[in-house]
Amino acid sequence: MSGQRQGFRPPGTVFASSSTLPLAAASRPGVGHPPFSATGVFTSTAPQRHLNFRMPPLQTQTAEALATLQKLSNEYEPEIEGPLVGKRQSSQAITAEYQNADEIFVRKTAVLPQKYSHYRTVKGDGNCGWRAIAFSYFETLHRIGDKGRILEELTRLKSLNNLLNQAGFAEHLYEDFVQETLNLLSEIAYSLPTSSDDAGLLKAFNDPGISSAIITHFRLLTSAWMKTHVEAYQPFLLEDTVEQYCASQIEPYQVEIEHIGMNALIDALILPAGLAVEILYLDRSVGVEVNSHKFERMDASGAPLNPDAPTFRLLYRPGHYDILYKIEDVAALMSSPTNLQVAYATPVTYGTFQPVPVVPVSSDMSTYLEIPGMSTPFVPVTPSAMSPDTYTSPVSPALSTFSTTTLPLRPVGDIGGFRPSKYELEAEFHPSPMPNLPFQTPTFRNSHFNPAHFRNSDFQPEMWKPDTADSGRGHKDDSSRH
């Protein structure tokens, strides 16, 4: 489990028996990040190790003792460890984290790595939702790898200063925050196309000064956006005016983002950048998979305006956001963001549902992926070109089932001579070019061409064995020959 949540104990719980203490701590950062213990229930052990304070029986407490307790409670800061933004890692870790949790979590987290192979922790310090969106915004622009587009974003964000002015923020107070955002954007833009890893972004986001400034900039933007689009957000606020809500929930530095703030942040920052966000909700709701909701630009009828908009994903667990990746996003992040060469292979395994393109192969990386059974010459893969820390296998052996796919294939009769396969494609089948499709077929995942196996020393590729694959006929042939 991600280190930072392990240390969490809700500070309020030590006083659980007292209803008379209005615990300010309950609104403190960190409390919004309930601890998920391995059993999937909120851990409620008293935080004695933090609060070195032995509680006398309630009835004997004097006002002074209560005041002391209140003071301790007010000053309580949960111990949060770990980097502000962590390294990308296999989402098998999430499965492992929940292996002893209740059935719903086990089921949902078991299938999670099949679709979302990697994830990245974000520190739960009261800013995780903001930080997760901010980091992903930069990372996705970097992944797209289009310098012009990043410079456009830089101009757009600069011009949004007008919105900040309109909302009444003083320029000399916000300009330092905005500057950090612009600096990082231009750093990314000018690092292209040579930089292909996330080291620069990680470094910037783990610098508290830069990270905090960017988050503050985005908070102010969100606040200004809400104040200038009151009609869109007021209906969702029950008691507060938009002005009050921004003052108490958006602008203060350590207040965690709520759903409405998330909406406004996405409206102000992400959608106008031509990006989309998908949030996956891991909770106890009924279902086999995590629920997801995609935030994207839509027309009046609710149809997406740009269904192919580059999308990033967040994993939401009550009170906490982390960043989630699909395997193809990771592949794109791993390869250099220069022009991609896309080759298309004859779909051997996909058949009716999707044609299979060979994964984008960049000229400067020798990551070479191909489909088993193709006659393309095999280019050796240099494992050192991959980041070994991040590219662990997203496929759990237990999970990779050999599902049957419907294929437009028909068995070919014994035609003698060389035949690459006993199956042949229907003549009218043509693959349509579709770039960047995921490699999710069992055949690919279990083949030695999947680079995800590089770190798995126990990996055994599927092999064709003449004895077992076609044993019946083979033996008959053998016997008839003798």
The answer for residues whose C-beta is within 8 angstroms of residue 430's C-beta and 6 or more apart is: none
Verify binding: residue 170, another protein, rule CB under 8 A.
yes
Nearest to 143 by CA among 88, 183, 216: 88
**What are the strands, taking DSSP E only, across 46-174?**
89-90, 118-120
Residue 238 CB burial class (10 angstroms; 0-12, 13-18, ≥19)? exposed
CB of 251 to another protein, least distance (A): 4
Q: Single out the residue of 252, 304, 420, 461 in contact with another protein (rule: CB under 8 A).
A: 252
Residue 317 pairs in a beta bridge with: 320
In whole angstroms, the minimum distance from the beta carbon of 137 to another protein comes to 19
By CB under 8 A, what part of segment 200-219 binds another protein?
A: 208-209, 212-213, 216
d(Cα 334, Cα 354) in Å, to the nearest integer?
24
User: Interacting stretch for another protein, rule CB under 8 A, among 185-193, 245-253, 349-357, 414-422?
Assistant: 245-253
Q: Which two tokens stand for residue 314?
A: 């967040």
How far apart are CB 169 and another protein at their closest, in Å? 6
220 binds another protein (CB under 8 A): yes
First vs last Cα of the chain: how many Å apart? 62
Which one of the spans 22-30, 105-113, 288-296, 313-321 is the region binding another protein (CB under 8 A)? 22-30
Q: Decide: is 169 part of the binding site for another protein (CB under 8 A).
A: yes
- The Cα-based distances of 370 to 176, 357, 377 in angstroms read 48, 9, 9
- In the bound state with another protein, the residue whose beta carbon lies nearer, of 164 and 188, is 164
Q: Which of residues 115-144 bind another protein (CB under 8 A)?
A: 126
**Minimum distance of another protein from residue 147's CB (angstroms):** 26
CB 335 within 8 A of CB 196: yes
Q: Cβ of residue 80: shortest distance to another protein, in angstroms?
A: 14
Residue whose CB is less far from another protein, 247 or 298 = 247
* Furthest C-alpha separation in the chain: 101
Return the half-sphere exposure (C-beta side, CA atoms, 13 A cut-off) of residue 98.
21
Q: Which is nearer to another protein, 208 or 420 (CB)?
A: 208
**Which is nearer to another protein, 170 or 238 (by Cβ)?**
170
Q: Which is nearer to another protein, 23 or 94 (CB)?
A: 23
Span interacting with another protein, options 27-35, 258-266, 303-311, 388-396, rule CB under 8 A: 27-35
Q: Does 173 bind another protein (CB under 8 A)?
A: yes
What is the C-alpha to C-alpha distance for residues 342 and 463, in angstroms, rounded to an integer?
27
Rounded to an integer, what is the distance from CA 97 to the centroid of its chain? Answer: 16
Among 27, 244, 341, 363, binds another protein (CB under 8 A): 27
288 binds another protein (CB under 8 A): no
Query: What is the residue type of 168?
Result: G
Decide whether 15 or 174 has the Cβ nearer to another protein. Answer: 174
Binding flags for another protein, 53-92, as an x/- string (CB under 8 A): ----------x---x-------------------------
Tell me whether residue 132 or residue 386 sits nearer to another protein (CB atom).
132
> Is 305 one of the binding residues for another protein (CB under 8 A)?
no
Q: CB-based contacts of 292: which residues, under 8 Å, 6+ apart?
A: 278, 279, 280, 281
Judged by beta carbon, residue 68 or residue 471, the one nearer another protein is 68
CA distances from 69 to 30, 49, 66, 378 (A): 19, 15, 5, 69
Least distance in angstroms from the C-beta of 324 to another protein:
27
Is there a contact between 313 and 277 (Cβ–Cβ < 8 Å)?
yes
Residues in 180-199 at the binding interface with another protein, rule: CB under 8 A: 180
Min dist. Cβ of residue 287 to another protein (A) = 34
Among 39, 162, 228, 248, binds another protein (CB under 8 A): 248
State yes or no: residue 228 binds another protein (CB under 8 A): no
166 binds another protein (CB under 8 A): no
| Residue 160 binding another protein, by CB under 8 A | no
Q: SS3 of 315, please? A: strand
Distance CA 133, CA 259 (A): 13
Three-state secondary-structure class, residue 191: helix
Q: How many residues bind another protein (CB under 8 A)?
A: 27
- Considering only the stretches 6-14, 26-34, 283-291, 376-384, report the one whose residues sit in contact with another protein under the rule CB under 8 A: 26-34
Which residue, 325, 280, 277, is CA-closest to 93?
325
CA distance 347 to 407: 9
CB burial class (10 A; 0-12, 13-18, 19+) of residue 55? middle
What one-letter code names the amino acid at 210?
I
Q: Which of 79, 81, 102, 176 binds another protein (CB under 8 A)?
A: 176
Give min distance, CB of 228 to another protein, in A.
16
If one counts every other C-beta atom within 10 angstroms of the C-beta of residue 161, the result is 18
Least separation, in Å, of the C-beta of 208 and another protein?
Answer: 6
Binding site for another protein (CB under 8 A): 27-29, 63, 67, 126, 169-170, 172-174, 176-177, 180, 208-209, 212-213, 216, 220, 247-248, 251-255
